[in-house]
Amino acid sequence: MTRAAHLPSCDRQGAVTNLTVTLFFLLAGSLQAAPTVTKVEPPNWWTGHSINPVRVLITGTGFTGAQATGTGIQIDNVKVSANGTYLFADVRVTAAGKHSIKIATRDGSVIAPFEVLTPLPSAARLQGFSPDDLIYLIMPDRFSNGDPSNDDPAISAGLFDRSKSRYYHGGDLQGVIDHLPYLKDLGVTTLWINPVYDNVNHLNEKERYDNLAITDYHGYGAVDFYKVEEHFGDLPKFREFVDKAHAAGLKVILDMVENHTGPYHPWVSDPPTPTWYHGTAASHINETWRTWTLLDPHAPAEFRKSTLDGWFADILPDLNQDDPETARYLIQNTLWWVDIAGLDGIREDTLPYVPRSFWHDWMAAIKRDHPKVRVVGEMFDGDASLVSYFQGGKVRDGIDTGVDTVFDFPMYYAIRDVFAKGNSVKSLSSTLSHDYLYPRPDLLVTFLGLHDVTRFMNESGATRDGLKLAFTYLFTTRGIPMIYYGDEIGMPGGNDPDNRRDFPGGWKEDPRNAFTPEGRTPEQADVFEYVRKLARLRQQLPDLRNGQLTELAITDNAYAFSRGEVIVALNNGKQAELFDLPVKPGTWHDALGSLGDVPAHFTLPPHAAAILIKK
């Protein structure tokens, strides 16, 4: 065979090869999957809202090169993540109704639902909170099991076990609803609920605590910011809870988290933007909790960076609020929870670990639509100079965060020191002397215990009389008092998670039901009735809520002060104390009932208190 005879054959083979390659790529392109949608965040928005357009984050697959159009809504500013699993879009809302977002690529299209709602009526909602209120903190999982059907839901089977302190125990939103009459009778006016975000829904035997499976029964490890934890109920049940609380005359504060997600959030392995978090699971800074460095002019930049950018406890992925998409997502999510149920307030977790510039924008967004809604932030420290730095109302480092108030941790430490440990009452006065640091000391939320510390009754030296004195001071000093569930019956409990024991009687199998008078032990009944009496006096005497606080007498064991026209006297010692008060002559009556009628000069028995009003 000659060379010339081979040429046509080679040309034909090359042509066939080229055609095969071309057909392969054409066929591969035609086999690319059409886009899919698994989540739309937020799933709805409201007419007349100050945020319009709303920035929507859609999660799915196959979004590369996508275009988005709306039916009944306008779509702009579309952005797709590099791997095609997230699509951001501005959605401008007009008329209420069920609308849709069409996402189209060359390989197909998919419809993402989006609903526009009319705002809830504001009557009996969105009220905020003030010194006229008495707050009660509930950890839903440990309060009452109102719906056993959600104890061990299929999606997260195996996480329910009351015998294990870090598993779900079955408490839920229905359990709170069932005991609204108990709370109303106790005298509280406002309920603070730990986060209800959907949390971890699988077992992981390699977690670091106690070699047990870790569940986020407490709510602080979100895996979905727009879904209610299935162990607690669902979104309709949450709205039912808020509606029924409002109908009972109770306000609702919801715990929220802008600092971090849970370690099992889908974003951890596939973030919506490259800078959605500070670092990655494989490479990140550990949180050092050096909060003082945020206002220390001598602190190096790396100290502040670890405080603001570190992963909390080296576990919780730290959200980057300097990423505009992250910040917008978090602000909208906060407003969504407020608007979907008509919340009265927000408790904001881990306040100092987020930039002040974000809090300024976050608070401004809240106040634009709901000026009465108030926020209390967590700054866990006993130093008033640090805690006061995080209350809004004053420009610091060029920024006023606008955060309404913070928890009074310095006073918490003083209360424990005095009434549990038996030390000098002078530390109460010393703590009050720092009120000049706060723009609004009257708005500080005061407490003698909460879910992050040991129970009062677990302090060395704590007694029932000391607990009653602590409650007396808590309910009569300046600020907004808060009760941690179970403290009203003197529940014990050590360090986390022992301080989160189940409320006795919240489960049908419990041997005693402390929600009822007949179910309380004599010791529990003694504390409960005393707290209930104090709550009623606080409502009956406006001066105990808003009167000017003036100190009248201070020794190591005796302490007296006035709130307007009411006098409060406390004897924290083991001996009787004579009170010689600089007040106008006249006969006074002890509203607590232990002394009856008393003059301005009187003796108070050991470990006793009196609330004096003029006859």
Q: Name the residue with tokens 């149920």.
A: 341
For 280-303, what is the mean pLDDT?
A: 94
549-614 and 36-117 share a CATH fold:
yes
For 285-308, what is the mean pLDDT?
A: 94
Reported as type and span, the H/E element at residue 246 is: helix 235-247
* Rounded distance between C-alpha atoms, residue 120 and residue 28, angstroms: 50
Residue-wise pLDDT for 171-197, tens only, equals: 999 999 999 999 999 999 999 999 999
* Rounded distance between C-alpha atoms, residue 330 and residue 501, angstroms: 31
- Which two three-digit tokens encode residue 323? 């990423």
Q: Which has the higher per-residue pLDDT, 428 or 154?
A: 428
Residue-wise pLDDT for 332-348, tens only, equals: 999 999 999 999 999 99
Per residue in 217-255, is it b (16+ CB within 10 Å) or e — as a string? bbbbbbbbbbbbbbbbbbeebbbbbbbebbeeebbbbbb
Domain ranges of the chain: 1-31, 36-117, 135-279+320-540, 549-614
Q: Which residues, at least 6 apart from 425, have a Cβ–Cβ distance to it below 8 Å?
A: 418, 554, 555, 556, 557, 558, 559, 570, 572
Q: Is 559 helix (H, G, I), strand (E, B) or coil?
A: strand
CATH topology of domain 549-614: Immunoglobulin-like (2.60.40)
Predicted local confidence at residue 431, as pLDDT: 98
Q: Which residues are tagged catalytic?
A: 349, 378
Residue-wise pLDDT for 89-125, tens only, equals: 999 999 999 999 999 999 999 999 999 999 999 889 9
Instruction: Name the pLDDT band for 202 (thresholds 50, 70, 90).
Output: low
pLDDT above 60 for 200: yes
Check if the beta carbon of residue 493 is closer than 8 Å to that of residue 501: yes
Predicted local confidence at residue 206, as pLDDT: 42
Check if the beta carbon of residue 249 is closer than 8 Å to that of residue 539: no
Residue-wise pLDDT for 38-74, tens only, equals: 999 999 999 999 999 999 999 999 999 999 999 999 9
Q: Output DSSP code: residue 441.
A: G
Query: Average pLDDT over the chain, rounded to whole?
Result: 92
Question: From the DSSP assignment, how many helices (H) and strands (E) are in the chain?
Answer: 13, 26
CATH topology of domain 36-117: Immunoglobulin-like (2.60.40)
Other CB atoms within a 10 A radius of the CB of residue 332 amount to 20
Other CB atoms within a 10 A radius of the CB of residue 61 amount to 15
Residue-wise pLDDT for 538-586, tens only, equals: 999 999 999 999 999 999 999 999 999 999 999 999 999 999 887 776 7
Check if the beta carbon of residue 373 is closer than 8 Å to that of residue 346: yes
Superfamily the domain 135-279+320-540 falls into? Glycosidases (3.20.20.80)
* Rounded distance between C-alpha atoms, residue 59 and residue 268, angstroms: 14
Tell me if the bond preceding 585 is cis, omega within 30° of 0.
no
**DSSP sequence for 364-393:** HHHHHH-TT-EEEE----S-HHHHGGGSSS
- Which two three-digit tokens encode residue 209? 């605590």
Predicted local confidence at residue 585, as pLDDT: 66
